[in-house]
Amino acid sequence: MTTKLDVLIVYAHQEPSSFNGALKDVAVKTLKSQGHNVTVSDLYKMNFDPTASKSTIQEPDNEEYFNFQEELKKAASKGKLPSDLQAEIDQVLSSDLVILQFPLYWLGLPAILKGWLDKCFVDQIAFDIQKKKWFDRGPFSQKKIILSFTAGGSESYFSNTGLFGDMNVLLWPIHNALRMTGFQVLSPQILYMLNTTHQDRTAMLEAWEKRLVNIWTEEPLSFVHIDNFTEDDLELSENYLAQIGENDPGPTVGQNLGRSFNPESMLKKNL
């Protein structure tokens, strides 16, 4: 018998009949058929406000100087966040798996989705630097997250020699930021959409459905464990560096040590 788990799909596309909409629908249908609870946050339909503005904070703690992240943290601790934002945070907290479904915009997240992350990943809820509850020790360390997105070009566009550059490099800041909360970051589901046929798209949807059936058993992407960084300056420790051979690649795209790195490090689990 399948364990009943909670899934949150954060959907960032304006058009329900888009391919992103189809991917979202497949995820809902597949995961519900397994008996899981599935919630969809349709950001455009919700008119979600992505801006880090003063209007989010009903009673700012500091009237003279506005620091959004600090005010957000204090409002959350006092239970004074807007009810719609608090509902989104509560859904993240109760989820076992979060799927971010979106089209790639300007080689990154759409503004509405980036704003959702800015507002929902609140200091002392999603991470706590002072208590060193972040990365591998973060509050979300038992949760999984996956990027599922369409890219407006062929796979070759996003290669090491392609026009837009290596997809590993583009994904590194997004994946590493998500990992700051402790999330187990799964390999992304990337749909390259240049000159695709109906048959191609049907195959893509079927592949997504097949993956979702077994997604709970997937191993997350590999990163350098937080314990391998020094406490003071948060750089790779001498002990860790001493274990890397002269001809070994850098451990990740971010900590590449001026060397090559695994060409699929942000695309699938390092073997």
268 is a domain residue: no
55 is a domain residue: yes
141 is a domain residue: yes
What percentage of the chain reaches a pLDDT higher than 90?
90
| Per-residue model confidence (pLDDT) at position 1 | 46
Domain that holds residue 164: 6-221
Number of domains forming the structure of the chain = 1
CATH number at residue 54: 3.40.50.360
58 is a domain residue: yes
pLDDT tens-digit readout, 59-80: 899 989 999 999 999 999 999 9
242 is a domain residue: no
- Six-digit token pair at 208? 């997504």
pLDDT tens-digit readout, 8-53: 999 999 999 999 999 999 999 999 999 999 999 999 999 999 999 9
Position 271 pLDDT exceeds 80 = no
Closest CA to 144 of 7, 2, 4, 3: 7
Instruction: For Cα atoms 99, 102, 104, give the angle at the middle one, nearest 5 degrees.
Output: 130
pLDDT tens-digit readout, 201-251: 999 999 999 999 999 999 999 999 999 999 999 999 999 999 999 889 999
Among 25-34, 44-53, 93-102, 258-267, where is mean pLDDT lowest?
Answer: 258-267
| CA 142 from centre of chain | 14
| Per-residue model confidence (pLDDT) at position 269 | 61
206 is a domain residue: yes
The structure's pTM equals 0.95
71 is a domain residue: yes
Give how far Cα 107 sits from Cα of 30, 50, 150, 153, Å: 29, 18, 11, 11
247 is a domain residue: no
Average pLDDT across the chain, whole number: 94
Radius of gyration of the chain (CA): 20
